[in-house]
Amino acid sequence: MEKTKSYKQFGGYTNYYSHQSKATGTKMNFAAYLPPQSGKVPVLYWLSGLTCTEENFITKAYAQAFAAKFGVAVIAPDTSPRGTGIAGEEASYDLGSGAGFYVDATEAPWSKNYRMYTYVTEELRELVEKNLPVNGQRAGIFGHSMGGHGALTLGLRNPDLYRSISAFAPIAAPMQSAWGQKAFTAYLGTEKSAWARYDASQLIRNATSNIPILIDQGLEDEFLPNELKLEVLEKAAGDYPLTVRRREGYDHSYFFISTFIEEHFAFHCELLKR
């Protein structure tokens, strides 16, 4: 693991790292904010949305100010492998580069490299816990859009790894959205039972844990009606501890995220520091 850049910020450091990934077979990059507090601190994993890299959240969300305030590290990985040579990898914004969907692909040609589920839950986590001053027993996960889908599904499937889950404008029922259907068909094939393992609205029905989930959704989000399908998740949740806050006038952008990011840090840290 190589540190490629470092900037002092709010008393801590925003660092960028690069490493060769066994999970994806490619070089992977991630950003990390390490707060000024001493010792091993709680850690939040942020998963970004379509077209994003490790840069977007760390430069646009104003997260470091609140990570420093609450004393928590933030890890923001890239959203897919890069430069695999797969035909069509760069052809569209919603499949291939920048669109890993946080699944382990089972279909050729994607299955060799597009293994973001394993990368985030195993390889990245183990790398971070081994090399950075974080307490892996106090970890949460959050994300936006495609990354919100990732945070929900990874969190629901791994209650032993994450104590808290939140999302901004997540793709909440990808089996019912064009984005999800396109990605799942390419990465997972046509068998719907394989899709269900990566659909939060399916997972929450049979959840074996009660890890609290917080979702913020802007009501001026252009993707809300056709792609995000938040109402499907809410209906499926039943009595699961899910809090959804609809925000009048806000869209799908980082202007929305930066407005409410402090509240997400407060939500996570109340759970992580118990």
Question: Which of 88, 73, 1 has the alpha carbon at shortest distance from 42?
Answer: 73
221 is catalytic: yes
> Distance between CA 210 and CA 176 in Å, rounded?
25
Phi first, then psi: give them for residue 273, nearest 5 degrees: -100, 10
Decide: residue 51, CB within 10 A, 0-12 exposed, 13-18 middle, 19+ buried: middle
Has 144 been annotated as catalytic?
no
Q: Per the residue annotation, which of 145, 166, 177, 201 is the catalytic one?
A: 145
**What are the residues whose beta carbons fall under 8 Å from the beta carbon of 134, sequence distance 6 or more?**
40, 41, 42, 43, 73, 128
The single residue of 144, 252, 264, 268 carrying the catalytic annotation is: 252
Active-site residue flag, 252: yes
User: Which entry of 21, 199, 221, 268 is annotated as an active-site residue?
Assistant: 221
Nearest to 202 by CA among 147, 141, 144, 153: 153
Question: Which residues carry out catalysis?
Answer: 145, 221, 252
